[in-house]
Amino acid sequence: MPKAKQAVDSLTEAQARDELEKLAQEIAGHDKRYHAEDAPTISDAEYDALRRRNLAIEQRFPELVREDSPSRRVGAPVSEKFEKVRHKVPMLSLDNAFSDEDVVDFVARIRRYLKLDADAPVAMTAEPKIDGLSLSLRYEKGRLVSAATRGDGQEGENVTANARAVTDIPNVLDGEPPEVIEVRGEVYMTHADFFALNKRQEEAGKQTYVNPRNTAAGSLRQLDSSVTAARPLKFFAYAWGEVSDMPSDTQTGMVAALERYGFRVNDLMKRCESAEALLAQYRMIEEKRATLPYDIDGVVYKVDDLALQQRLGFVSRSPRWAIAHKFPAEKATTILNGIDIQVGRTGALTPVARLEPVTVGGVVVTNATLHNAEEIERLGVMIGDTVTVQRAGDVIPQILGVIEEKRPADAQAFEFPSVCPCELKTPVVREGIGSGVEGVVRRCSGEFACPFQRVEHLRHFVSRRAFDIDGLGDKQIEFFFNDPDLPVKAPGDIFTLARRDADNLKKLKDKEGWGATSAANLFDAIEARRSIALERVIYALGIRHVGEQTAKTLARAYGSWQEFHDAVLAVANGDAQAREEMDALDDIGDAVIDSLAHYFGEAHNRELVEALAGEIDVQEAERPTMDSPVAGKTIVFTGALERMSRDEAKAMAERLGAKVAGSVSKKTDLVVAGPGAGSKLKKAADLGVEVIDEDAWFERVGA
Ligand code: IVH
């Protein structure tokens, strides 16, 4: 007989605190046995009684509610959608290596960048690349306070309630963790758990899942955290974000610390001293792959010394100090049923292979890209052929070749169309790539008149790295593009949707596929994006050659929408000085400038841009405001540098808020010259620009 429980009303504060702690542990144990192991040890009624008691005590002593309380863990209030959270330290992605040679190059590149001798050892780690989804967990004073998905690396989704429901993620850290630590790693599902879950789903007549990774992702992004709790998710810790006090100065030391704090870490991580040793560990892990209980898709190499990691920094979104060596792609054979032509945002016509569905590495593949007409010719592929397809990671599947022996008698050759498949049937043009040579890309000449291109432009406009409007994806864009009552034909129309809907007799909420909540949510999400960063706006316009990085450069250089707008219009009108100024920006050359000039030279585009600008509030771009002695200065490095490579020098100056230029001009503030500097030095002297040597540079920036 269990001992009768003391009445909640008569508990002292100390007794209540003790009992809440015990209940938290006890209920967590039952949750684990029930949800993760499918082996409960008490009845549902007994379990409910424990939770009720926990709640009753908490209601009497609200100040004693624990961070890891069961009342917070499961069945937390259902939120409509996840809040966005900005990562203090961005969550980076990794560059890929596909061959041994790529790995050797990677190590050599690191040595060169750090100006180390070719045979100087650089310790690195090799560890499995887990095929799950990354998560950042923030702990303050050892307690989990928030959890966020990677999102676009800058901004993720707040999934704290769900992370608390993952038994592998400690709510309270062990050992002596720093005051603040963001632990990063991968959420995944084991094969056994995946199969068991699918079996349960099937038996219950519910949806089954494609692979463990998608299941893990879907499980973590459940709006109801009790669903997450019922999914057996696991977590490997392998990285970190903000840390108030670093417990170690190496990658291996940090991972060991994470283990002490109570995280599961991967035991296949090894410290290696050479590219050969990395490759040996790669082979070892590759051999083990089939017997591992979870999916991996490669091996990650990282520089072990954190001070060197710091020096190496990153390029755009990937660190220079790490790389993912991917396993070879998986292959299968199937039949090519047909070839469709897809028209992209820039009007490029891409042939897409329609395949007899086939499973490649656990995923059903029905389409593959054929790139262009030359690729079809190179493969010699005909409709009806049996082809080999390959899928690698998230990339679009590709056709590798044709099995000619299996060609049926009625196989048909494919003829590349000479007009766009859109209703305008605009002629297809091939651009020159210089010296009279035609490029391989065929484009519809209709530009914005071509409905395919317009839809693609709109899709790009709302995509994740552009306006990123929740609930406005590919499907909805297509819906609004064709909707007679609430048409969206250009970006600005998105921001007038709510107003137009209010004036319409026929409301969005009454339309097929919509309801009061989804319509209201969409209008809210659009409203939330009315105020937006300049770089996103520039990128969202979808101008050829203006990718995210270029958009960022332009935004930083011009600062405000007005200045950017004036500058591009001036360039479009042939203003030589405006062009020269733009040309002086890092990584911006003729292709970008011509493309901007072409875009803003078209009246139609200008109208579209004005209509949009009238609807939105473009935030000013962040200018480097660091209080470094070189912030805002334009610097030229010349001659041989001895303590760092040219790349490192440039990256360092940029980190400190300076701009690095390739040539000396009136705008140059400082020239850093090493031995052998020539004409640039002379020009600096002529213009009276300050010149210092490498040592003085280090002194000035205090490094
Ligand atoms: S390190 C700065 N280590 O791969 C680098 N990533 O393509 C931070 N991943 O978003 C990542 N296993 O989701 C690292 N052992 C591992 C990993 C790993 C899987 C994922 C992670 C990341 C993606 C990068």
Q: Are 131 and 277 in contact (CB under 8 A)?
A: no
**pLDDT more than 70, % of the chain:** 94
Ligand 1 binding pocket includes 322 (Cβ within 6 Å): yes
Do 180 and 271 lie in one domain? The reply is yes
pLDDT of 32 reads: 67
Q: How many domains does the chain have?
A: 6
Beta carbons within 8 Å of 29's beta carbon, 6+ residues apart:
none
In the predicted model, is pLDDT for residue 204 greater than 90?
no
The verdict on 583 and 680 lying in the same domain is: no
How many angstroms separate the alpha carbon of residue 4 from the centre of ligand 1? 51
Same domain, 273 and 402: no
Least confident of 47-56, 606-615, 678-687: 47-56
116 lies in the same domain as 147: yes
Tell whether 335 and 304 lie within a shared domain. no
pTM over 0.75: no
pLDDT number for residue 317:
77
Tell me how long the chain is: 703
CA distance 249 to 230: 38
Q: Is 182 in the pocket of ligand 1 (CB under 6 A)?
A: no
CA 481 to chain centre: 28
- Both 117 and 207 in one domain: the answer is yes
Sign of CA dihedral 661, 664, 667, 670: positive
Asked if residues 642 and 674 have their Cβ atoms less than 8 Å apart, the reply is: yes
* pLDDT reported for residue 75: 33
Residue 45 — pLDDT band, cuts 50, 70, 90?
low
One domain for residues 272 and 225: yes
Indicate the annotated binding residues for Zn(2+): 420, 422, 444, 450
Q: Please check the confidence at residue 225 and state whether its pLDDT lies above 90.
A: no
CA-closest residue to ligand 1 atom 18: 129
Q: For the purposes of burial, counting CB atoms within 10 Å of the CB of 210, is it exposed (0-12), middle (13-18) or buried (19 or more)? A: middle
- Range(s) of the domain holding residue 670: 634-701
Going by the annotation, the residues of the binding site for NAD(+) are 44-48, 93-94, 127, 150, 186, 302, 326
Q: Are 131 and 361 in contact (CB under 8 A)?
A: no
Phi and psi (nearest 5°) for 217?
-65, -45
Pair 350, 221 in one domain: no
Confidence of residue 571 (pLDDT cuts 50, 70, 90): very high
Task: List the residue whose alpha carbon is closest to atom 8 of ligand 1.
Answer: 92
Q: Which atom of ligand 1 is nearest to the CA of 133?
A: 13
pLDDT surpassing 80 at residue 612: yes
Do residue 546 and residue 524 come from a single domain?
Answer: no
pLDDT at 33: 64
**Domain identity same for 142 and 203:** yes
Domain CATH for 130? 3.30.470.30
- CATH code (residue 59): 1.10.287.610
Determine how β-strand 314-315 pairs with β-strand 318-319. antiparallel
List the CATH number of the domain containing 482: 1.10.150.20
Res 77 pLDDT > 50: no
What is the overall mean pLDDT for the chain? 88
Helices (DSSP H) in 382-473: which residue ranges? 451-461
Say yes or no: 222 and 351 in one domain.
no
Query: What pLDDT score was predicted for residue 623?
Result: 63
The answer to the question of residue 422 being in a domain is no
The answer for residues whose C-beta is within 8 angstroms of residue 345's C-beta and 6 or more apart is: 453, 456, 457, 459, 460, 542
| Atom 6, ligand 1: residue with shortest CA distance | 129
Binned at pLDDT 50, 70 and 90, residue 626 comes out as: low
- Nearest residue (by CA) to ligand 1, atom 10, is 93
- Percentage of the chain lying above the pLDDT 90 cut: 55
Phi and psi at residue 697, to the nearest 5°? -60, -50
Cβ–ligand 1 distance for 319 under 6 Å, the answer: yes
Find the range with the poorest average confidence among 176-185, 220-229, 345-354: 220-229
Give the up-direction half-sphere exposure of residue 666: CA atoms within 13 A in the CB hemisphere: 1
Mutate to test the pocket of ligand 1, among 134, 254, 327 (most ligand atoms within 8 A of CB): 134
Cβ atoms of 361 and 391 within 8 Å: the answer is: yes
Residue 228 confidence class, pLDDT cut points 50, 70, 90: confident
Residue 390 has a CB neighbour count (10 Å cut-off) of 19
348 shares a domain with 293: no
Asked whether the beta carbons of 684 and 668 are under 8 A apart, the reply is yes
Q: Is residue 185 one of the residues assigned to a domain?
A: yes
* The Cα angle at residue 44 between residues 222 and 72, in degrees rounded to 5: 40
Q: Are 351 and 416 in contact (CB under 8 A)?
A: yes
Residue among 349, 527, 533 at smallest CA distance from 443: 349
